[in-house]
Every structure is written in C-alpha cells, then in structure tokens.
C-alpha cells in the first residue's frame, strides 16, 4: 500500500478517507466478497487490499471458492459492497450465471460486481458488458495491485451512492408510514413507545432506546412530575421505566450527561455510541430520544432522522390538540353533571359510582365477547364519562317533585318521567355542534334510553331489545343497582343479595340479560369498583 499513497490516482479518495490505523471509534466495515476457485487469487487479493481504509471504514474480506458457495454467502449477507467474481469456475459460465442469480433471484441491485477472468476469449468483453449487469470486466493479468486498488475504491464509492439513494427512498417511505402510525396514537406513553419503534425501523437497528420529556418549563402540574420524565424505554434501558433521572444518572452517567447537553444546546447530538435526538413541539414541549446503532450514523441516516423529528413534532402537536379537545369535552360533561348535582344533592356520589361501574361492566362484556360491533374502542373510551349525564334532565323537574320524600302520585310520576326526554334533547342539541360520536352524543343516548325496558314497557319511547342503545342498557342496570344499594330520600339501602336478586329477576324484561350477567360476574368475582365496595352494608358478602 505504501507504494500507492503518492500515486496519481489519489483523486479517488476524499482528503480524510485513507488512514493508516483503524480508529478507536470503529465504523462498520465494507464487505468485499472474493469468488474464485483459485486459492492463490484469494491470497493475492487479500494481500493487496487488506489494509485499505475508505471513509474511515476498513474492509471485511469474505471468500467463496465456487459460484454455489458465493450465492449462499450473498444470501446470508445482504450488505456486500463489492463482488470480485471469477468467470470460469465449476463451469465455463459459472460466474456469468451467478450474475443473473444475484440480480434476479436475490434482487440485489446494489452490490458492485467486477468480473475477473484468466481466459478473456471465453467470454468476450463487449458481449459480457452488454448482456450482464456488471460494473467492470478485467483480465487477471491486468489487475495489478494499483489497478485493483483503483477498482475497489471506485466500486465502493458507487456502492455508497447507490445505498444512500436507496436508504433515502426506504427511509422516507418508513417515515411517512411511521408518522401516520403516530397520528393514530392517543396517549403520551403510547406515543413515546411508537417513536422508539419507528426510529428502530428507519435505521434497522436494535431495540435499545429511551425517550424522555422535559417538564421544567411547561404546564401547571410540574410539582407532581419530575423535571425530566422517562416516557418509554426498551432493551437495556427498560429498567429505567418508572424510575427517576437520578437513577439514569447513576446507572448511565454518560447518557444522562449527553441528554442534559442536548437539552441545553437544543440540537441533536451525534457522539457515537451516545446519539441523542432533540425534538421540540410547537407548544413548547421538548423531547430527547437516545437510540443505540451498532455503528456511527452516516450523513444520510442523520438527515432522515432530522426529517423524522419534524414529523414527530407534528404528530405530538396533533396528540396534544386531541388531548385538549377530549379534556374540553370532559369539562363540559362535568359542568353539566355539576348542574344536575346543584339541584339534587344525592346525585354527586351517585354519578361517580355510575361512571365507574359502567366502565367495569363494559369491560367485562368486551372480555366476554358480547356485542363486539358495539363495544368499539371509542365506545369503551366514552361510556363511563358519558354515563354521568344520565340524569341531567332533572334540571327541568320541579323541586316539590324532585325532593319529595315519599312515593310520587301518578301525575307527579308523569312529570318526573319527562326528565329522560329533557336530558336527551339538551344533549342532542349540544352534540349536533360536534361532528361524529362524542361524550355528548353518547350521553344523549343514555339520558333518553336508560329508563327504557328490554321488553318495551319502559319510557319515554317504549323501545325494545337492541333498539335501545347499548350505552343506555348498561346504565339502566347500573342506575338501579346503585339506587337500591344506597340510601335515598324515599328509601333505605337494600342488602347486596336482595339487590342482585331484584336485578336478576328482571333480566329479559326490564334489563338486557347480557348486561345483568356481566354485573353478576363482577359481583361474584369481587371485581366491583372500589367506590362501590365501601358502602356495601356491614357484614354483607357479594352474591355468588
């Protein structure tokens, strides 16, 4: 190699490309596969180029002594940069046939192929260049050490450019696909795990990674949250989940220092093996992501990650806006429930218990496979919160009826029953201002339908069976269960067993049998929500 360092072909190397010693911070080597049935050719080739370094990356020389062996090796390694291929081996055209197999059977269009032959008349150069997807054709006698050096460097440069183009193509495709997935996520921790997964896919690296969120300058709840919160961790960093950054500092001091430096400088840090991405959202939230590639990242990979960071930022902003929208809807629901509670002091604890038990029954039914078309993710998200609106129509009930301690007479009963229609109409008008399904639209179903009977004898519309929305059928059971179990102005609390007997006796007439069965499983399994366990009467055991 020393005889080549001052020759006229130095233009083939970048100024900093050739180094005499392998750097301590080693980079991924270039794989070069020698396929030749003559051992002397392997030895001579290795001797000529084994110390070559290009772009701070050494060579990894692989050997195969037949076309079949070469094909098997290429099937095992998909990152071979250059193939030095003999033409005549087990057959006169073994090398040429292998070219077709590499390009067509393996679909490998990136590896550079240089044919070497000791019998040029066997495969004329012009025919071979035109008929086969190769990059150079040399006789073994003309491949001197210098020309072999030149051929290798030119081939590696061509391979590097092709790989960069392919990585850009695949990376951008993965970024678009990954960002679309992130837009579907609806919780911050789910979002954080998705980011780690997508970065791993883009770079095709292992699963070791950690994502942190900076809380110091954001929000009103910082007293209860750490300054740097670990949202997701995988692989070697998984023990950090649920821990503090002090634990990170003691267990991974170099990583902690790099993360703090990234946040101070507000830019990504590439200092292999500690690489940290910096991501800032439009609402001021800052994230840092550490991942563990095996080799230092190439420029094209860094560029792809910076593009992905922009997509992550946009996806987080979308998640933030979605979360704010949900919170706004929940605030509206709570405000309406508070309005009902203002008129009826018994409502407050009651609606919270109804919320918890409605969620529990819906979950139990989903686990049992009941009504799979109705128990969608959106339904499961909304049923509990929407259930607290079931009696909002009582704001229209006169005080002398609402607070009457005894039983209502028939005329008073008619007025009281109007609260179902009043509540449904109030919520229906409000929900019309929100496109799609919302807490208000589900609340309207519940308010208007939770006094309907499964057999059609309820009110206000005498609906039957599954004509009654599932949300209302669930709350119908929950409302009666809680009302019987707790003291009201007109009654004392019932023992749990009597409550369950009453509800079970009305399965199929007043109540949906599947909803009743779900409640029975919760009670017998001791799975009632905590808020409902406390008021169960002294010494009373769940029904079995």
Closest CA to 364 of 383, 351, 350: 383
Beta-carbon contacts of 518 under 8 Å, excluding residues fewer than 6 positions away, are 361, 364, 365, 368, 370
- Angle formed by the axes of helices 513-524 and 470-485, to 10°? 50
Closest CA to 32 of 44, 46, 22, 13: 46
Tokens representing residue 445 in the block: 């179903």
Catalytic site includes residue 394 = yes
Cα-Cα-Cα-Cα torsion 182, 185, 191, 195, nearest 10 degrees, comes to -20
Cα 287 from Cα 55, distance rounded (Å): 32
Asked whether the CA dihedral 497, 502, 508, 513 is positive or negative, the reply is negative
Tokens representing residue 408 in the block: 């209502």
Taking residue 169's Cβ as centre, other Cβ atoms within 10 Å add up to: 10
Tell me the C-alpha to C-alpha distance, in Å, between residue 197 and each of 189, 202, 241, 291, 394: 12, 9, 16, 10, 50
Cα 78 from Cα 204, distance rounded (Å): 13
- Can you give the three-state secondary structure of 219-259, one letter per residue? CCCHHHCCCEEEEEEEHHHHHHCCCCHHHHHHHCHHHHHHH
Closest CA to 488 of 420, 422, 392, 407: 407
Q: Give the active site residue among 55, 394, 429, 462.
A: 394
Reduce the DSSP state of residue 108 to 3 states and report it: coil
Cα 62 from Cα 75, distance rounded (Å): 13
Are the CB atoms for 371 and 470 separated by under 8 Å? yes
Cα 475 from Cα 357, distance rounded (Å): 9
- Angle formed by the axes of helices 496-505 and 513-524, to 10°? 160
Strand partners, 82: 32, 112
Are the CB atoms for 290 and 258 separated by under 8 Å? yes
Strand partners, 188: none
DSSP 38: -
Cα 278 from Cα 406, distance rounded (Å): 66
Tokens 């670990």 correspond to what residue?
A: 230
Provide the CA 54 distance to its chain's centre, in angstroms. Answer: 38
Question: Which residues participate in catalysis according to the annotation?
Answer: 394
């Amino acid at each position: 190699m020393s005889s080549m360092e001052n020759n006229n072909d130095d233009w083939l190397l970048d100024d900093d490309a050739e180094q005499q010693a392998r750097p301590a911070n080693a980079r991924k080597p270039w794989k070069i596969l020698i396929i030749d049935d003559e051992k002397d050719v392997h030895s001579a080739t290795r001797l000529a180029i084994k110390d070559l370094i290009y772009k701070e990356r050494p060579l990894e020389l692989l050997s195969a002594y037949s076309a079949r062996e070469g094909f098997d090796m290429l099937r095992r390694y998909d990152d071979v940069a250059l193939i030095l291929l003999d033409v005549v081996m087990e057959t006169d055209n073994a090398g040429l046939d292998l070219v077709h197999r590499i390009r067509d059977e393996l679909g490998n269009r990136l590896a550079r192929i240089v044919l070497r032959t000791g019998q040029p008349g066997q495969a004329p150069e012009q025919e071979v260049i035109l008929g086969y997807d190769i990059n150079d054709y040399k006789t073994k006698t003309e491949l001197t050490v210098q020309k072999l050096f030149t051929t290798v460097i030119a081939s590696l440069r061509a391979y590097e450019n092709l790989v960069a183009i392919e990585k850009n193509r695949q990376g951008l495709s993965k970024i678009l696909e990954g960002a679309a997935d992130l837009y579907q996520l609806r919780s911050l921790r789910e979002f954080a795990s998705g980011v780690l997964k997508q970065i791993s896919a883009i770079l095709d690296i292992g699963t070791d990674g950690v994502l942190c969120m900076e809380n110091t300058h954001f929000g009103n709840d910082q007293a209860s949250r750490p300054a740097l919160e670990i949202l997701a961790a995988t692989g070697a960093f998984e023990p950090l989940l649920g821990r503090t950054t002090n634990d990170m500092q003691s267990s991974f001091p170099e990583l902690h220092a790099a993360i703090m430096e990234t946040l101070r400088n507000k830019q990504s840090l590439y200092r292999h093996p500690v690489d940290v991405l910096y991501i800032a959202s439009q609402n001021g939230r800052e994230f840092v992501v550490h991942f563990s590639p095996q080799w230092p990242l190439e420029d094209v990979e860094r560029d792809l990650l910076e593009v992905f960071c922009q997509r992550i930022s946009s996806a987080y902003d979308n998640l933030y806006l979605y979360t704010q929208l949900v919170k706004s809807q929940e605030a509206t629901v709570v405000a309406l429930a508070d309005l009902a509670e203002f008129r009826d002091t018994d409502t407050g604890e009651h609606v919270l218990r109804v919320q918890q038990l409605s969620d529990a029954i819906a979950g139990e039914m989903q686990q049992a496979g009941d009504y799979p078309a109705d128990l969608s993710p959106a339904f499961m998200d909304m049923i509990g919160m929407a259930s607290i609106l079931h009696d909002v129509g009582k704001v229209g009930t006169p005080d002398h009826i609402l607070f009457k301690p005894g039983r209502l007479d028939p005329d008073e009963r008619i007025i009281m029953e109007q609260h179902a229609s009043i509540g449904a109409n109030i919520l229906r008008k409000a929900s019309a201002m929100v496109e799609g399904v919302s807490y208000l639209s589900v609340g309207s179903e519940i308010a208007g339908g939770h006094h309907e009977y499964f057999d059609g004898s309820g009110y206000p519309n005498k609906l039957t069976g599954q004509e009654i929305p599932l949300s209302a059928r669930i709350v119908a059971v929950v409302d009666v269960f809680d009302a019987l179990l707790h003291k009201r102005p007109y009654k004392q609390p019932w023992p749990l067993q009597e409550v369950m007997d009453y509800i079970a006796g009305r399965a199929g007439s007043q109540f949906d049998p599947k909803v009743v069965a779900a409640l029975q499983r919760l009670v017998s399994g001791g799975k009632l929500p905590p808020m409902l366990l406390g008021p169960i009467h002294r010494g009373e055991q769940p029904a079995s």
